[in-house]
Amino acid sequence: FSERLQKAMSFIDRGRLTEATVREGMKQVRQALLEADVAYDVARDFTKRVSEQAVGDRVLKSLKPSEQIVGIVYRELVALMGGDPDSEFQPSSVAAQIGVKRDGVTVLMMCGLQGAGKTTTCGKLARALKKDGFAPLLVAADLQRPAAIEQLKTLGEQVGVPVYTEDPANSTPVKVCQNGVKEAQRRGDVRVVILDTAGRLGVDEDLMRELSAIDRKVGPDAAFLVADAMTGQDAVNSAKAFNEALELDGVVLTKMDGDTRGGAALSIKAVTGVPLKFVGTGETLDGLEAFHPDRMAGRILGGGDMATLLEKAQREFDADEMAEQQARMAEGKFTLLDFQKAMRQIGKLGSMRSVMKMIPGMGQLAELDPEADMDREVGRVNAMIGSMTQEERLNPDRIDRSRRNRIASGAGVQPHEVHKLLKDFKGMSGMMQNMAGLGMRDRMAAVKG
Ligand code: GDP
Ligand code: MG
Looking from the CA of 383 toward its CB, the CA atoms found within 13 Å total 17
Residue 15 has pLDDT above 90, yes or no: no
Instruction: Report how far residue 136's alpha carbon sits from residue 441's, in angstroms, rounded to the nearest whole number.
Output: 51
Total Cβ atoms within 10 A of residue 379 = 12
Least confident of 223-232, 262-271, 357-366: 357-366
What's the Cα-to-Cα distance from 274 to each of 99, 223, 248, 254, 407, rounded to whole Å? Answer: 14, 11, 7, 16, 53
Q: Ligand 1, atom 28: nearest CA belongs to which residue?
A: 283
Q: Which is the closest atom of ligand 1 to the Cα of 287?
A: 23
C-alpha 225 – ligand 2 centre gap (Å): 13
Which percentage of the chain shows pLDDT scores above 90? 38
Residue 353 has pLDDT above 60, yes or no: no
User: Which of 369, 277, 342, 313 lies closest to 89 in space, CA to CA?
Assistant: 313
Per the CB < 8 A criterion, the answer to whether 56 and 68 are in contact is no
Instruction: Report how far residue 250's alpha carbon sits from residue 273's, in angstroms, rounded to the nearest whole number.
Output: 9
Mutation test of ligand 1: which of 111, 119, 120, 284 has the most ligand atoms closer than 8 Å to its C-beta?
120
∠ CA 296-7-267, rounded to 5°: 35
0.95 surpassed by complex ipTM: yes
Q: Ligand 1, atom 5: nearest CA belongs to which residue?
A: 117
Which ligand is in closest contact with the Cα of 257?
A: 1
Total Cβ atoms within 10 A of residue 240 = 16
**Ligand 1 site residues, Cβ closer than 6 angstroms:** 112, 114-120, 199, 226, 254-255, 257-258, 280-283, 287
C-alpha 445 – ligand 1 centre gap (Å): 46
Q: Which is the closest atom of ligand 1 to the Cα of 288?
A: 23
The three-class DSSP label of residue 84 is: coil
Which ligand is in closest contact with the Cα of 143?
A: 2
Residue 9 has pLDDT above 90, yes or no: no
**Which parts of 75-190 are beta strand (E)?**
106-111, 136-141, 163-164
C-alpha 265 – ligand 2 centre gap (Å): 22
Residue 303 CB partners (closer than 8 Å, separation 6+): 2, 3, 6, 357, 363
Output the pLDDT for position 35. 77
The three-class DSSP label of residue 250 is: strand
Instruction: Set out the domains of the chain in order of their start, with CATH numbers.
Output: 2-80 (1.20.120.140), 94-291 (3.40.50.300), 305-448 (1.10.260.30)
Q: Cite the annotated binding site by residue number.
A: 112-119, 196-200, 254-257
pLDDT higher at 300 or 82: 82
Output the pLDDT for position 403. 92
Instruction: Report how far residue 69's alpha carbon sits from residue 196's, in angstroms, rounded to the nearest whole number.
Output: 44
Instruction: Report how far residue 156's alpha carbon sits from residue 150's, in angstroms, rounded to the nearest whole number.
Output: 10
Residue 374 has pLDDT above 80, yes or no: no
Mutation test of ligand 1: which of 113, 226, 254, 277 has the most ligand atoms closer than 8 Å to its C-beta?
254
Per the CB < 8 A criterion, the answer to whether 264 and 39 are in contact is no
Computed from CA positions of residues 124, 127, 128, 130, in that sequence, does the dihedral angle turn out positive or negative? Answer: positive
Q: Ligand 1, atom 6: nearest CA belongs to which residue?
A: 117
Output the pLDDT for position 63. 52
Which percentage of the chain shows pLDDT scores above 70? 67
User: Which of 176, 196, 322 lies closest to 252 in space, CA to CA?
Assistant: 196
pLDDT in tens, 259-311: 666 778 888 998 899 999 999 989 999 999 888 887 777 666 653 443 444 44
pLDDT higher at 85 or 447: 85
Instruction: Report how far residue 342's alpha carbon sits from residue 207's, in angstroms, rounded to the nearest whole number.
Output: 55
Q: Cite the annotated binding site for GTP by residue number.
A: 112-119, 196-200, 254-257
Residue 69 has pLDDT above 60, yes or no: yes
Report the residue count for the chain: 449
Which ligand is in closest contact with the Cα of 226?
A: 1
C-alpha 254 – ligand 1 centre gap (Å): 7
Q: Which is the closest atom of ligand 1 to the Cα of 281?
A: 23
Q: Please list the residues that pair with 197 across neighbouring strands.
A: 141
Q: How confident is the model at residue 334 (pLDDT cuts 50, 70, 90)?
A: low
In degrees and rounded to multiples of 5, residue 418 shows phi and psi of: -65, -40
Q: Ligand 1, atom 2: nearest CA belongs to which residue?
A: 115
C-alpha 228 – ligand 1 centre gap (Å): 8
Residue 238 CB partners (closer than 8 Å, separation 6+): 112, 113, 203, 225, 227, 231
Q: Which is the closest atom of ligand 1 to the Cα of 280?
A: 23
Per the CB < 8 A criterion, the answer to whether 413 and 384 are in contact is yes
Q: How confident is the model at residue 182 (pLDDT cuts 50, 70, 90)?
A: very high
> DSSP letters along 382-445, please?
HHHHHTS-HHHHH-GGG--HHHHHHHHHHHTS-HHHHHHHHHHHHHHHHHHHHHHHH-HHHHHH
> DSSP letters along 335-372, please?
-HHHHHHHHHHHHHTS-HHHHHTTSTTTHHHHHH-TT-
Q: Rounded mean pLDDT of 239-251?
A: 93
Q: Ligand 1, atom 16: nearest CA belongs to which residue?
A: 283
pLDDT in tens, 90-125: 556 899 999 999 899 999 999 999 999 999 999 999
Output the pLDDT for position 120. 97
Q: Rounded mean pLDDT of 406-435?
A: 79
Q: Which is the closest atom of ligand 1 to the Cα of 196?
A: 4
Instruction: Report how far residue 313's alpha carbon sits from residue 44's, in angstroms, rounded to the nearest whole number.
Output: 30
C-alpha 119 – ligand 2 centre gap (Å): 4
